Structure 1
Amino acid sequence: MKYETDKQLLDAVVELLGGGTEHFGKAIEMEVERASISSRGLTARTKATKDVLGPAGELDEGWVATVMDNLTSTLVTAFAMRPHGTTSLAVSTLAKPPVGAAIVVECTLGSAKSQPQASAVFWSAGPVGQRTKFAVGSHTKFFKPAQPPRF
């Protein structure tokens, strides 16, 4: 689908994330604040709770991967509108967020061609240049055939 405005893209992203499908991680409270056609990205916000911190006090890598998969897959779907699967998803945690801190997740779609690629950065809230980077990740996907192959 071709979006005319960022608002149309934002509405599509919000609908895709909560559009009646039950996917893993749906219970994670996540507010999509912005979607941009020109930057091919979205920004979402959540909070650091004890439940999302791993034993070392950093964001749990499984939680980061789930949030990233849900957001970047939604971004690929919003732009490509084709079925897709994951070929690789890699995350790294970098810093310890305090419990209760806002976490801003910025996702960008690098390519929506035959192998879509997206990235995510998990930041503290605040002005650019004064934020802490909590985690990063990259997500590479592939497009599935429109019809299942016949054997």
Structure 2
Amino acid sequence: MSDLNVLWPLSGGLLIGLSAALYLLLNGRIAGISGLTASAFGWTGAGISPLGLGFLAGILSGAALAFAWIRQADLAITSSPVLLIVGGLLVGFGTRFGSGCTSGHGVCGLARLSPRSVVATVAFMLVAAITLFIVRHVIGGVA
């Protein structure tokens, strides 16, 4: 394993943890991608949030920077576009239904030992494992 293979995930994890901690310290709120995205587009009822827009800009610019720096990205969509859209809509519904996403519950909620976040994260992981099993071993597809 090269140093680059270790450094990217490590630095990404450190930046996620640091940003979540700073968001909690500075705003008194739990950072979650679904909530910040909703606020960026004004879907929370409070209007368009500059903080949410900055968050989205940071995600997109960070990805662009990493792509420009590494220059080894192999992007290939191997699934049906319809299946990807349906999956995205189901994830969006689930984050609203579950009052948060994996970043809010899995990163921030578990760090605070929130019982609700423990249940949500266990549910995310179980559904992911069951879905992977069904797709690979029951249906016979590649996931």
Q: What is the TM-score when the length of structure 1 is the normalising length?
A: 0.28
Q: RCO greater where, 1 or 2, for CA within 8 Å and sep 6 or more? A: 1
Structure with larger Rg: 2
Q: Answer 1 or 2: which has greater strand percent.
A: 1
Q: What is the TM-score when the length of structure 2 is the normalising length?
A: 0.29
